[in-house]
Chains A and B, each alone.
Chain A
Amino acid sequence: MPTISFLFFSGPYQSESPETTIELARAALEKGLNVKIFCYMDAVNCVKVGQKKVPGVTNIEEQFRELIAKGAEVRLCTLCMLVRGMLVRGTEGLIEGARRGGTPDIADMVEESDRVLVIS
Chain B
Amino acid sequence: MSKNIVVILRKPPHGSLYPAEGLRVAVAISASETNVVSIEDSVYAFLKDADMTLYKHHLDFLKETEVPVFIDKDSLEERGLTAKDLVDAVIVKERSDILSTIAEADATLAF
Q: Which residues of A contact B (CB under 8 A)?
A: 7, 40-41, 102-104, 106-107, 110-111, 113, 116, 118, 120
- Given the known A-B contacts A116-B107, A120-B110, are A103 and B3 also in contact in the complex, defined by CB atoms under 8 Å? no
| Range of interface residues on B (Cβ < 8 Å) | 10 to 19
Are the CB atoms of B29 and A106 closer together than 8 Å?
yes
Partner of A111 from B2, B21, B27, B28 at Cβ < 8 Å: B2
Measured between alpha carbons, how far is A113 from B5 in the docked complex, in Å? Answer: 12
- Given the known A-B contacts A41-B17, A41-B21, are A107 and B28 also in contact in the complex, defined by CB atoms under 8 Å? yes
Measured between alpha carbons, how far is A106 from B27 in the docked complex, in Å? Answer: 11
Measured between alpha carbons, how far is A40 from B31 in the docked complex, in Å? Answer: 20
Partner of B27 from A7, A103, A120 at Cβ < 8 Å: A103
Interface hits, B1-24 → A, CB 8 Å: 2-3, 5, 17, 21, 24
Measured between alpha carbons, how far is A120 from B2 in the docked complex, in Å? Answer: 25
Mind listing 25 A-B residue pairs with CB under 8 Å?
A40-B21, A41-B17, A41-B21, A102-B28, A103-B25, A103-B27, A103-B28, A103-B29, A106-B25, A106-B28, A106-B29, A107-B31, A107-B32, A110-B3, A110-B5, A110-B32, A110-B107, A110-B109, A111-B3, A111-B32, A113-B107, A116-B107, A116-B108, A116-B109, A118-B109
